[in-house]
């Protein structure tokens, strides 16, 4: 097996890589769906439950103090990881989806009026579309789509054209249409496109439009710096950055934090509860009703520390190398249609494609027979797939532990698909 220096170092940290699938070593290439967990993350969970498990905040005994410290230290570690000035802006949720729904319910819904618009892009995940649809519908607002480039324009296929965005904003100003938000992904979970968030935010802000960044894919693939990006909201999931399921993060800028209504009601988010009305705790607790996922925060903290130790720059570099290799191999075949930028500078290691005349399900199933895990379907982007004129695609997406031999294996196994399904 050909390993990059990073891969050689990290593969032994992931217990699941020892697994065999139908007699073959696992080649896990579905990291955009969820990532595998290093031993330190699993150990953190065990350690929490075997040593410190307790509910937080309202307990004065030792375990409760420890659990509270674990939880609040986790907030600080996450804040540092994404360049947030203080941990008070970090809200823990159950995942990207809940983080975005939180903003839809607690921030935009109360201020949305009939005729207002929320801008989304055509490449958004359902989790960054449907919450806005739901919010828009209750108030007579609408979604406005920032289209992706399909022709090979200067920004490349599957990219967003900044000029188009400026025009949309200017047109809205002309007809005095209220644009309440831009919701945009930092990295597409299908095309692999890396969007220039800092520039996008600058344009949006110059027209008074706040920006929510879906960093579900980006957080595991590149350094994130909310201070530099200057976005208003940013959301990601623990399970996609080598941490546990059941935990997500929402970063909110101070000004926006003050505008937010409560999200869910319950224990921990209140100040005083009277019979008919209540008052609220300060942020971030105000937005964290109920017993929080303390163990999951501990696991997430371990994941963030693991990634920081390796260095997000190095991780990004590794992914670029894998992606370069994949792009080169894909170019060898003319029955492989790759969606998204060809240019390595505007994409990351998420590659969706179709093998001509073979259904993505069948491709994924045949690959599984050789131990390869890839995803087939619309990857929660029906709007994008419709735009691309397809129903489904096969997606290969890289993680820390992948290497070029796994890519080569996939490419060679596609031959089996051809043999089975195309006479």
Partner 1 sequence: MTKPSIYRDLLLEHARHPKNCGRLESPDLRATAFNPLCGDELELTLAVSEDIIQDCKTKVRGCSICQASASMMSDLILTKTLQEAEKISKVFTESLTKENEVISESLDSLRPLIALKKHRSRIKCMKLAWDALEDCARQNQT
Ligand X SMILES: Cc1ncc(COP(=O)(O)O)c(C=O)c1O
Q: Which does 180 bind (CB under 5 to 8 A by kind): partner 1, its own copies, ligand X, none?
A: none
Q: 73, 142, 337, 408: which one contacts its own copies (CB under 8 A)? A: 142
19 binds its own copies (CB under 8 A): yes
Cα separation of 150 and 263, whole Å?
38
Q: For residues 323 and 404, is the Cβ–Cβ distance under 8 A?
A: no
Residues numbered 131-170 forming contacts with partner 1, rule: CB under 8 A:
none
User: Smallest distance from the beta carbon of 365 to partner 1, in angstroms?
Assistant: 6
User: Smallest distance from the beta carbon of 334 to partner 1, in angstroms?
Assistant: 22
CB atoms closer than 10 angstroms to residue 70:
21
163 by Cβ neighbours in 10 Å (0-12 / 13-18 / 19+) ranks as exposed
Which residue among the candidates 40, 231, 380, 417 is catalytic per the annotation?
Answer: 380
Q: For residues 53 and 398, is the Cβ–Cβ distance under 8 A?
A: no
Q: Which does 265 bind (CB under 5 to 8 A by kind): ligand X, partner 1, its own copies, none?
A: its own copies
Query: CA distances (Å), 295 to each of 42, 236, 243, 265, in order?
Result: 10, 18, 11, 22
Q: Which does 232 bind (CB under 5 to 8 A by kind): partner 1, ligand X, its own copies, none?
A: none
Determine the size of the site formed for its own copies (CB under 8 A). 96
Residues numbered 368-387 forming contacts with its own copies, rule: CB under 8 A:
368, 372-377, 379-380, 382-383
Residues forming contacts to ligand X in the complex (CB under 6 A) are 32, 95-97, 125, 127-128, 185, 189, 214, 216-217, 237, 267, 290-291, 380
Q: 356, 361, 415, 420: which one contacts its own copies (CB under 8 A)? A: 361
User: Looking at 57-65, 141-149, 166-174, 227-235, which segment touches partner 1 (CB under 8 A)?
Assistant: 57-65
User: Smallest distance from the beta carbon of 339 to ligand X, in angstroms?
Assistant: 15
Residues numbered 147-206 forming contacts with its own copies, rule: CB under 8 A:
none
User: Smallest distance from the beta carbon of 180 to partner 1, in angstroms?
Assistant: 29
214 binds its own copies (CB under 8 A): no
User: Smallest distance from the beta carbon of 185 to ligand X, in angstroms?
Assistant: 5
| Strand-pair partners of 251 | 90, 234
Catalytic status, residue 231: no
β-bridge pairing 233-237 and 211-214: parallel
User: Smallest distance from the beta carbon of 36 to its own copies, in angstroms?
Assistant: 6
Q: 10, 100, 215, 303: which one contacts its own copies (CB under 8 A)? A: 100
What would the x/- binding string for partner 1 be over residues 355 to 394, using CB under 8 A? ----xxxx--xx--xx-----xxx---x--x-----xx--
Q: 23, 255, 275, 389: which one contacts its own copies (CB under 8 A)? A: 275
Residue 64 or 203 having the CB closest to its own copies = 64
Contacts with partner 1 by CB under 8 A lie at: 22, 57-60, 64-65, 68-69, 72, 270-272, 281, 359-362, 365-366, 369-370, 376-378, 382, 385, 391-392, 416, 419-421, 423
Active site residues: 380
């Amino acid at each position: 097996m050909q390993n990059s220096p990073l891969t050689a170092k990290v593969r032994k940290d992931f217990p699941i890589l020892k697994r065999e699938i139908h007699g073959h070593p696992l080649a896990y290439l579905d990291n955009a769906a969820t990532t595998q967990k290093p031993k330190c993350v699993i150990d953190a969970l065990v350690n929490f439950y075997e040593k410190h498990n307790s509910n937080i905040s309202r307990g004065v005994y030792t375990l409760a103090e420890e659990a509270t410290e674990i939880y609040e230290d986790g907030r600080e570690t996450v804040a540092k990881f994404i360049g947030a000035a203080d941990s008070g802006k970090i809200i823990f949720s159950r995942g990207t989806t809940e983080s975005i729904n939180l903003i839809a319910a607690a921030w935009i819904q109360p201020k949305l009026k009939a005729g207002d618009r929320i801008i989304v892009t055509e490449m958004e995940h359902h989790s960054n579309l449907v919450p806005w649809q739901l919010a828009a519908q209750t108030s007579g607002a609408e979604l406005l789509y920032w289209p992706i480039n399909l022709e090979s324009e200067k920004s490349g296929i599957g990219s967003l054209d900044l000029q188009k965005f400026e025009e949309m904003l200017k047109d809205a100003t002309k007809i005095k249409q209220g644009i309440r938000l831009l919701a945009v992904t930092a990295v597409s979970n299908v095309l692999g496109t890396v969007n220039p968030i800092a520039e996008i935010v600058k344009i949006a802000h110059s027209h008074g439009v706040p920006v929510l960044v879906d960093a579900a894919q980006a957080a595991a693939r590149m350094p994130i710096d909310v201070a530099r990006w200057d976005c208003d909201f940013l959301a990601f999931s623990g399970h996609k950055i080598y941490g546990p399921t059941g935990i997500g993060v929402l970063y909110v800028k101070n000004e926006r934090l003050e505008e937010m209504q409560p999200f869910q009601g319950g224990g921990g988010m209140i100040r005083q509860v009277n019979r008919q009305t209540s008052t609220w705790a300060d942020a971030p607790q105000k937005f964290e009703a109920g017993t929080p996922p303390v163990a999951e925060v501990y696991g997430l903290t371990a994941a963030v520390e693991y990634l920081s130790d390796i260095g997000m720059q190095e991780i990004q570099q590794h992914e670029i190398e894998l992606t370069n290799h994949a792009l080169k191999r894909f170019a060898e075949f003319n029955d492989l249609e790759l969606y998204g930028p060809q240019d390595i500078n505007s994409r990351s290691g998420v590659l969706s494609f179709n093998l001509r005349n073979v259904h993505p399900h069948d491709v994924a199933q045949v690959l599984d027979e050789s131990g390869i895990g890839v995803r087939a379907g619309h990857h929660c982007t029906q709007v994008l797939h419709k735009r691309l004129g397809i129903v489904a695609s096969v997606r290969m997406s890289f993680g820390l532990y992948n290497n070029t031999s796994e890519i080569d294996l996939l490419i060679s196994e596609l031959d089996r698909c051809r043999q089975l399904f195309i006479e």
